Amino acid sequence: MTDIFVVSIAAILALMIYTILYRENPAFRLGEHILVGATVGNAVVQAVFQIQNVAITKFQKGMETGDVTGILYIIAIILGILLYFQFSSKYRYVSKISIALMLAVGLSLSIRGLISVNVVGQIIGAMQPLNSVQNIVYLIGVVCVLLYFVYEKKVSNIIGPLPKIGRYVLMMTMGAYFANVLMGRVSLVIGTLNDLFVAPAYYFIPIALLIVIADSLSRRKIAGKKS
């Protein structure tokens, strides 16, 4: 019984969202607001539990046992509270302490890995043995794309048409991105239709279609009367 209820609600909400393909309407807006509300509500609940698990529990444990590492979690809790000074125009600067610390920690954490993975690793990865057509094309692509970003006029005169080839390689890469995004969007429709093609969800499809057709006809009638 619960399953039938859940499937029905999911189907109705999915169809409400898809009505945007017909036109902007209250059903779509209601579905959209429910989605946003549910997502934010879930995130808030998760955040509260996480603050409790990650910081408050450890701090309480530290206070009970006298463990300094546990007690130090109070600093994280205070820094977290300071973030809420964003909402005060008078004391907003206080929140900048936490923001600055978050940025510093984030940057210092990522910089080590970024250089190793995205700079050194990628340069090593680009040095492939030229024993296959794929690797030769890969090397030409890398060189031409790099040359495309050289804006020095004297250099441009020497390297000739290579930046143009780089531009085409970049355009092909954009094409690959676009095709992948398209594949993703189609996958989402497939996922939704998979959910709609189970009982009792499919009973709602003709109902939704009839509502859309009725609305379309009534709008046409009103438009006809006005003209």
Partner 1 sequence: MTLRESLSQNYKPIIYFILFVLIGFPLLHPLGLPLPIDQDCRDVYNKIESLKAGDVAVVTQYIGGGNRAELYPQYKAVLEHLLRKDGIKIILEEAGTESPVFSQLVLQELNAFKRKTYGVDFVDLGYIPGDEAAIAGLCRDLHALVSKDYYGTPIDQIPMLKDVNTAKDFTIVVDITASADSQFWLNQAYAPYRTAIALGMASAKVPDAYAYYKAGQIFGILESLKGAAQYEFLTGSPGLAIIGMDAQSLAHLYIAFLIVAGNVAFFMGRKKK
Site for partner 1, rule CB under 8 A:
21-22, 35, 39, 42-43, 46-47, 50, 53-54, 57-58, 105-106, 109-110, 112-114, 116-117, 121-122, 124-126, 138, 173, 176-177, 180-184, 186-194, 197
Q: CB neighbours (10 Å) of residue 191?
A: 11
In angstroms, rounded to a whole number, what is the distance separating the alpha carbons of residues 183 and 179? Answer: 6
| Amino acid identity, position 115 | I
Residue 16 sits at the vertex; the CA angle it makes with 14 and 19, to the nearest 5 degrees, is 110
Helix (H), strand (E), coil (C) string for 96-129: HHHHHHHHHHHHHHHHHHHHHHHHHHHHHHHCCC
Nearest distance, CB of residue 89 and partner 1, angstroms: 28
CB of 69 to partner 1, least distance (A): 8
Which of 9, 193 has the CB closer to partner 1?
193
Q: Smallest gap, in angstroms, from Cβ of residue 221 to partner 1?
A: 18
Q: Which helix (H) or strand (E) holds 147?
A: helix 133-148
Q: Which three-class secondary structure state does DSSP give residue 24?
A: coil
Least distance to partner 1 from the beta carbon of 22, Å? 7
* 155 vs 193 by CB, closer to partner 1: 193
Q: Which is nearer to partner 1, 122 or 218 (CB)?
A: 122
Q: Which of 71, 72, 99 is nearest to 84 (CA)?
A: 99
23 vs 92 by CB, closer to partner 1: 23
Burial class (CB in 10 A: 0-12, 13-18, 19+), 166: buried
Question: Closer CB to partner 1, residue 51 or residue 94?
Answer: 51
CB of 2 vs partner 1, minimal distance in Å: 14
DSSP SS3 for 132 = coil
